[in-house]
Structure 1
């Protein structure tokens, strides 16, 4: 990520990054450690960064290419959200999010709405279609891990 961005942040509920001691400012701790919601985490990150837009990528999606990231960034200034899509699914947490979303997120949370999909639906969103499903492999299971190992072996 450092080849694309000047600053790379890690968002977490707890500080388990002692090995990053010199770079501690790059760890963003969730302001709501007892609420497990991607929307709450997104709000926390958007509140803590100083830029008007932020590229978000989950840690369990390791194959997203620099070219793909750059494609999304190129469209970002026109939208509140620019996100990746493939034939199989929309990748809600692979994209560029604007700080202008914060009031909408606050309203959603005050109404107990925690779905990122709802935020995407209710915002000025641009979905960019990508063809390579492997690039967006989300590793949540042992099967996903084995698939990822196979992808690495074949590339």
Structure 2
């Protein structure tokens, strides 16, 4: 069963942002952002405010808890991706 499905009920509860969260991290790339936030995000960028946490503090945000930290892989560099890919074989 896809664990991300447990985020879906919150779409009906007027949250503008719904984000996956594990015990150690928030995962802003694994979430839902309402389209009405486009101008707000543009305003943040125009003011050079690039921390996603600022958006979370100003917009109604729901963090949905997930226990498995390993389910959310963070690959920041191509080399990390290549290493991960080779470990799958």
TM over 0.5: same fold? yes
Identify unmatched segments of 5+ residues in structure 1: 1-65
Q: Quickly say closer, same or farther: Cα 1:123–1:69, change in 2 above 3 A.
A: same
* Consecutive aligned runs of 4 or more in structure 1 exceeding 6 Å deviation: none
Matched length: 86
Q: What SS does the aligned partner of 1:128 have? A: strand
TM-score with structure 2 setting the length: 0.77
Q: Quickly say closer, same or farther: Cα 1:125–1:148, change in 2 above 3 A.
A: farther
Deviations, residues 96-122 of structure 1 (Å, cap 9, x unaligned): 110121232122122121222211221
Per chain length, whose mean CA-contact separation is higher, i.e. which structure has more relative contact order (CA < 8 Å, sep 6+)?
2
Q: Quickly say closer, same or farther: Cα 1:112–1:70, change in 2 above 3 A.
A: same
Identify unmatched segments of 5+ residues in structure 2: none
TM-score with structure 1 setting the length: 0.47
Deviations, residues 39-97 of structure 1 (Å, cap 9, x unaligned): xxxxxxxxxxxxxxxxxxxxxxxxxxx62221112212320000000111100111011
> What is the RMSD of the two structures over their aligned residues, measured on CA atoms?
2.4
Structure holding more helix per residue? 2
